[in-house]
Amino acid sequence: MVKKRKKYSNEYKAKVGLAALKYEKTTAELAQRFGVHPTMISAWKRSLLEGAADIFDKGHSSPKQVEAKIDELHRQIGELKVENDFLSRKLNF
C-alpha cells in the first residue's frame, strides 16, 4: 500500500521553522512534537534563513519591472502552449 505524502501549509512550515531557529529544543524533540521528520524541520529552517533577506526587498520592484516580468511569463506560456499543441498533434497522428 502506497503511503500518501502529507502537504503542509506555508504557515505551518514557518511556525515549525521558527521554533527550530529558537534552539530551545533539539530537532528530534521538535519532530516528535510537531509530527514531522527531522529532515523536514532542517529544510524549513534553512529555507527561512535563506529567504530572510528577501523579506526586506519586497515592494522595491518598480511597476515597469513587474510588467516586464509578466510580459516575459506570458510569452513563455504562449511558446509552451504552441509546443504542447504541436506535440499533442504528433502523438495523435
> In this predicted model, what pLDDT tens digit does every residue of 30-56 receive, in sequence order?
999 999 999 999 999 999 998 887 777
Q: Which residue, among 50, 52, 12, has the nearest Cα to 30 in the 3D structure? A: 12
The x, y and z cell numbers of residue 21, run together, are 531557529
Within 8 A by CB and 6+ apart from 42, the residues are: 20, 27
Model confidence at 93, pLDDT cuts 50, 70, 90, reads low
Model confidence at 62, pLDDT cuts 50, 70, 90, reads confident
pLDDT at 2: 74
Model confidence at 59, pLDDT cuts 50, 70, 90, reads low
Burial degree of 40 (CB within 10 A; 0-12, 13-18, 19+): middle
